Structure 1
Amino acid sequence: MRINRWKCFIGGMLAVAVFAFAMISPTDALAKNNGNGKGNGKIPPGQLKKISFTMMGDVYGHWAAEPVTAMQRQGIIVGFPDGKFYPQKEVSKNEALVMLMRAMGYEDESPTGKSLKLVPKSWASGMVALALDKGIITREELKNFNGNEAAQRYEVAVWLARALSNSDMLGNLSGGTVQFIDAGKIPGYAKNYVAQMARAGIMRGYPGNVFKPQNPVQRAEIAAMLFRCQNMFSLNPRFEFIKGTVDDVMPSDPAFISIVPGSDDRLTILVQVADDAAIFVDGEAVELEDIERGYAVSLVLNSARKAIVVSAGSEGAADNDDENKDEAAPEVVKLNPKDGAGDVKAGIDELVVTFDEKIYPVKSLKDIKDKIGVENITKDRSINIGDVEIDGRDLIIELKVGLEENCRYAVYIPANIIKDKEGNKFAGINSRDWRFATFEGEDEDEDAPKPEKLNPKDGAKVEYGIKKITVKFDEPVQWVNEKSSKNTAIVFNTTTNALLTPDDVNIDEDQLVIEFDKKLPVGEYGITISSGIIEDLSGNKFPGIGVNDWVFEVVEEDD
């Protein structure tokens, strides 16, 4: 039969291309396809190769078995002397930076002496100093750096994004607005980095659409983050990364895998599989012969150009699940309060979702209660849920405390916790899709005073020395009552996690003036102006400035 295809043979040999009527290669000699797509039907007795690799004792069966083992095979992470990885153990700042620097291929580089002097002495000093040289961590961040402390999620997001950006791997991927409902807890300088990592799919949130920025990162979690980075960006130049579709597998001795890279099926690449390769399908450790033709696959090749990591995914499984899930799933027909309502009555303690059919919990009502999120956006805090009930087509969410006046709220219901009688699962409600507010009267923004100018501007960098910040409105404003000025502004230094108390807050016609006796310290700031305490001369109340809407940075003067 005429074979109109290019083949490249990789693995301890010079890559060659063959274009012929009939091709003689390891594919033909050892593994004629037997029709099942596995390609091992005619391997002679005694030539079947068993790939063996040692997986750390407490990783087998863990959700992060694949990323942990893949990172282990590349020397990016290591286990403990007892042969375990301890995936739930918190990773320290030193460990996180060392793993990241190894993943980027920087382990053979040396830091500058200047940077070494700035870094606290420890086993990781060299790598941390090199991270400073590479712009992954800053001098400001080093001022309070304790490498033995647990790395927090927002810190790892910052370091990952900087490392990828500095190597031009993120391209034009911008961060945009952080969509997590606890975005107000993310330091101002870190928000764009968190948004970048979330958009890229490298870091993910928790049920309830929360990011939990101050949570410590576990060893399994950072392995998964680096594994995703590797699959997207082929990080380490010491290794070669190949992606494609499985054309054939040959568990012979030596073993091979043949893949079609990209969409051009005229080219196949034949890669030798290392004797101690880590092999996975859909995250589970398998034998090479378990991989079938048509699977999506990513290979990591060592310096000898042998595959040391084979990560495969069964074709179409996720798509089929999604299709079945959406086809007859329950749909929302009514929300109470309505999405977008601005005049919801303060004090109500019951939220209701009405579906187009009777609904049931996938696991239990407690599971639904634990996973639903209700957030007071204005005051940046989660609302405690007292109970959850299902009454026919209605999901009833009972709050422990009623809604506060002059506040914005967001509600999140994750997917796959509610189903219909046939088992079709509800796709969930994003926190952007169910929002409402408890402002009196008409819509909050219709006649309310609006900020015309912020000083410093949102996102600005200003030189050290400022003692006053202002908001200029589009019309004259006044306090709602005499006590309002005491609870007007929250000035938060996100660099030092310090809350600063203004020495004076006053209104001068159309301008809110916030003053300090001392100059604002160097650092990044987030300013929040409370809602419902400032109004125009007609009594229309200013809705306030939220936690993400006014940030700036005070920097040292240029030398």
Structure 2
Amino acid sequence: MIKKGVISLVLAAFIVFGVATAASADPWKNEAHGKKWKFKQPKPVKVNVKLVDIKSHWAEKSINSMASWGMISGYEDFTFKPNATVSKHEALMMIARASGYEADKNLSWNNILEDMIDYAVDEGILTEDESEDLAGWQPAKRYEVAVWAVRAMGLEEDNDELFFSDTNEIPAYARTYVSSMYRCQYMVGYPGKIFAPNKPVTRAELAAIIYKILDQGPVGDDDSDDSSTDEVEISSLGPADGSDNVEIDIDKLTAKFNVEIEAVDTLADVKDGIEIRSEDGDVVDIDEVSIDGRYLNIELDEELEEDTTYKVTIEDDIIKDEDSDEIFEGLSGSQWEFTTVDEDEAVEIERLDPENGEEDVDWEDTNVLRATFNCDIDADSLVDAVVVYNKDDNEEVDIDTVQIDGDELIITLGEELESNDTYEVTIKDGYFSSEESGEEFEGLDGEDWSFTTN
């Protein structure tokens, strides 16, 4: 059963992500697998709505493209609210629609949602247990989107080792899904080799993920014993060819072949036969090259430059099929190139007033709270962006206004604080960003800004 409290959120999902299914061609066929690629290839449809709040946003291209395909639309005020988080219902609706779900517009919103969940279970996007424990009104987490997207695509799960510093925070069952999304570069990490699996996904991030999958199409990653060709070929690359958001601290490149491989002579020869060159002509130092079954692993000895395109070449006659001795004919730089992200300074809070942990705050004179950032900030919307909570009374404090003045967030309370009570202030993620770079602020938990009145 769908809870009544989620109906308004469901309505929002349909306003933002649309009900009508975009015109689509037959499903792409992933010949490497010999099975159907489940996502639909969209065709442009005429869209007259111009979204007013995505200009210069990092995901502007993805959002506009998705709108042109009829996959998403805006709210009634022509906003998209790109930095707001999406609920699990919203994320599943968009993923389901990309994989072919068509809603019956004659059904009620509640029945459409139930129908979509049934579709997700039937198609293997959700398990029965997951659908029953979904809590769909809660924000969708990054690892959950990875799981649902891989299942919806019919993409093979990847057993490659993950090198994120927070891999242990990814549920064990979800790691093969995250690995697949990362290998194909449908999802990437954050600076510092962080995946942030439990971070809520924003509308812009989800649009960008689905856009990248639809735009790029299937990435071959065959593990089958298909012997339709005797040639030694690369079936997938990591980062994928054409990736434009690769982290500068990536420390390994991977090429997966259609057969188990080995060096023609030595691994030293293989290393000498691989070159990674930037658009400026600088050659990246390679630390080590290894072969593991079908995988050629290239360990880097230095950090890459930001906002730079790199091309990787692999010479012929250095790698061969382990069984047949068939020689790999090599890979040119035009067949494997990628671009690193433009690293922006993280948006952080430098000062809080009252300070976190302060225990003698004047309850009579304190009606304004201030957070000072390390840059000038901006916001698409200030509604519900901040919560002030009285821990002793277990209730929220009324807020009169939330304002931005350059690098300062000013919170004016709508009621007087109480004596000898502890308060927590939460600044939600997905609302604030750097005015200059667009880099998003990841939010502040109440436990990181608490104070007690005298």
For the superposition of Structure 1 and Structure 2, which TM-score range results when normalised by the shorter chain?
A: 0.3 to 0.5
Give the structure-1-normalised TM-score: 0.31
Bigger CA radius of gyration:
1
Q: Whose strand proportion is higher, 1 or 2? A: 1
TM-score by length of structure 2 reads 0.38
